[in-house]
């Protein structure tokens, strides 16, 4: 009995002190609202565009002479890095909801929000061939402050806006 009491006390301590946010009596809500896109629009939104300004930086990837900088949830800035002293910005690979990529041979794999896509870019004419799209293979994004949102079957969360 004494042990049980101790155990319960221990559990309560963890419950109460584990996370300070849980002291609040209001149910916690996210400070973000999701940016939701319909699947039909979403699938047509992946393209290779002329280079543009980098608004924010994420993960990086190096393959041969190409250097990629992710702009979280927007896509990848592509640099020709042949001359290490003068990397040249050559394209922006737009991929909504993206955070990461990997490359095998000339094929780029991207987490396009809930989908895995395999693409082959042509930097000369800024065209992009999507050779495969595996839909709904990744979960919908969680908000930056850790909340789950329910969306419709054909709706995809591609970004977050901070609520003022």
Partner 1 sequence: MKNLILLFVLTLTFGCSKDGDSSNQDSAEANTGQGGSLASFTVVGDYLYTVDESSLNIFNVINSEQPVKVNDLPIGFRIETLFNFREYLYIGSRDGMFIYSIENPEEPSYVSDVQHFTACDPVIANETHAFVTLHSNTQCGNDINLLEIYDINHIVAPALVSSRNLTSPKGIGLYGDFLFVCDDEVKIFNVTNPVESVLVHSINKEVFDVIIKGDLLILIGDTGLYQYSLDSGNIENIQLLSSIAI
Q: Which residues bind partner 1 (CB under 8 A)?
A: 17-20, 54, 56-57, 59-64, 66-67, 69, 79, 81, 84-87, 89, 99-107, 109, 111, 116, 118, 120, 131-132, 134, 137-139, 142
Locus of tokens 């394209």: 91
Note whether 56 and 71 are within 8 A (CB): yes
Min CB(137)–partner 1 separation in Å = 6
For partner 1, the closer CB: 5 or 105: 105
Measure Cα distances from 131 to 31, 52, 111, 150 in Å. 37, 25, 14, 30
Min CB(2)–partner 1 separation in Å = 26
Closest CA to 61 of 89, 99, 97, 95: 99
Q: What's the CA gap between 78 and 94, in Å, rounded?
A: 11
- CB within 8 A of 103, min separation 6: which ones? 61, 63, 109
Min CB(59)–partner 1 separation in Å = 6
Closest CA to 97 of 109, 112, 110: 112
Min CB(5)–partner 1 separation in Å = 23
Q: What's the CA gap between 64 and 81, in Å, rounded?
A: 8
For partner 1, the closer CB: 1 or 79: 79
For partner 1, the closer CB: 37 or 69: 69
Min CB(120)–partner 1 separation in Å = 7
């Amino acid at each position: 009995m004494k042990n049980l009491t101790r155990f319960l006390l221990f559990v309560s301590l963890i419950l109460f002190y584990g996370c300070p946010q849980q002291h609040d009596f209001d149910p916690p809500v996210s400070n973000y609202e999701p940016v939701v896109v319909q699947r039909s629009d979403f699938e047509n939104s992946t393209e290779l565009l002329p280079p543009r300004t980098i608004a924010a930086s994420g993960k990086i990837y190096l393959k041969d002479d190409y250097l990629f900088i992710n702009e979280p949830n927007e896509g990848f800035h592509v640099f020709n890095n042949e001359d290490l002293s003068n990397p040249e910005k050559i394209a922006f690979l737009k991929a909504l909801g993206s955070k990461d990529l990997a490359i095998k041979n000339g094929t780029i794999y991207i987490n396009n929000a809930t989908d895995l896509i395999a693409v082959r870019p042509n930097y000369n004419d800024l065209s992009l061939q999507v050779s495969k799209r595996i839909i709904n293979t990744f979960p919908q994004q969680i908000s930056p402050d850790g909340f789950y949102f329910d969306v419709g079957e054909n709706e995809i969360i591609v970004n977050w806006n901070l609520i003022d």
